[in-house]
Homo-oligomer: A and B are copies of this chain.
């Protein structure tokens, strides 16, 4: 029997960690191929990306669609349930933006590249 004291514990298990909320954030802008995700998430390794995607799939947030073709083409998208999780990711994003602004005003040497990573580079 698994016990949770607060709802937030379950949330952290599912979208906690370094990468999952970023993946959800990117998938909100539409279906993405594996390689697209990897290019757009700075610093993630292929192993970790795929591992995180599989976990999100297992938890019902992400759908994996394999095109039966060569060369391989695999597409990931959010499920309906995954979209509900985006509510969280959304407030985290906007709170984070505000936080960065505040720290910039304080004189910290930081930038938000913002959305560059979301756009497809031509």
Contact = CB atoms under 8 A, between A and B. Distances in A.
Interface of A: 1-12, 14, 16, 18, 21-22, 25, 41-42, 84-85, 87-89, 91-100, 103, 108-118
Contacts of A5: 22, 41-42, 112-114, 116-117
A89 B3 contact: no
B25 A21 contact: no
29 contacts: A1-B110, A2-B111, A3-B113, A5-B22, A5-B112, A5-B114, A5-B116, A5-B117, A6-B96, A6-B115, A7-B92, A7-B95, A7-B98, A7-B114, A8-B25, A8-B89, A8-B96, A10-B96, A11-B92, A11-B96, A11-B99, A12-B96, A14-B99, A16-B16, A16-B18, A85-B95, A87-B95, A88-B88, A91-B91
